[in-house]
Amino acid sequence: MAQNLIGSEIIRVAGEVNAMIAKGEPICNLTIGDFNPSIYPIPEELRKGITKAYEQGHTNYPPANGVAVLRKAVVNFTKERLGLTYPENDILVAGGSRPLIYATYLALVDPGDKVVYPTPSWNNNHYCHLSGATPVEVKTRPENNFMPTAADVKPHLKGATMLALCSPLNPTGTMFSKKDLEEICDLVLEENRSRGEGEKPLYMLYDQIYWMLTFGNAEHYDPVSLRPEMRDYTVYIDGTSKCFAATGVRVGYAFGPTVVMDKMKSILGHVGAWAPKAEQMAMAEFLQQPEEVNGFMDEFKPKVQESLNVLYNGFQELKSEGYAVDAIEPMGAIYLSAKMDLAGKTTPEGKVLETSQDITFYVLHEAKLAVVPFSAFGSGKDLNWFRLSVGGASLEDIKASLGRLREALQKLY
pLDDT in tens, the chain (413 residues): 999 988 877 888 888 898 999 999 999 999 989 999 999 999 999 999 999 999 999 999 999 999 999 999 999 999 999 999 999 999 999 999 999 999 999 999 999 999 999 999 999 999 999 999 999 999 999 999 999 999 999 999 999 999 999 999 999 999 999 999 999 999 999 999 999 999 999 999 999 999 999 999 999 999 999 999 999 999 999 999 999 999 999 999 999 999 999 999 999 999 999 999 999 999 999 999 999 999 999 999 999 999 999 999 999 999 999 999 999 999 999 999 999 999 999 999 999 999 999 999 999 999 999 999 999 999 999 999 999 999 999 999 999 999 999 999 999 99
CB 371 within 8 A of CB 360: yes
- All structural domains of the chain, each given as residue ranges with its CATH number in brackets, are 9-41+295-411 (3.90.1150.10), 44-293 (3.40.640.10)
pTM: 0.97
Of 87, 89, 65, nearest to 78 by C-alpha is 87
Cα–Cα distance between 95 and 74 in angstroms, integer?
15
pLDDT of 146: 98
Cα–Cα distance between 99 and 104 in angstroms, integer?
9
Contacts of 225 (CB under 8 A, 6+ apart): 82, 83, 84
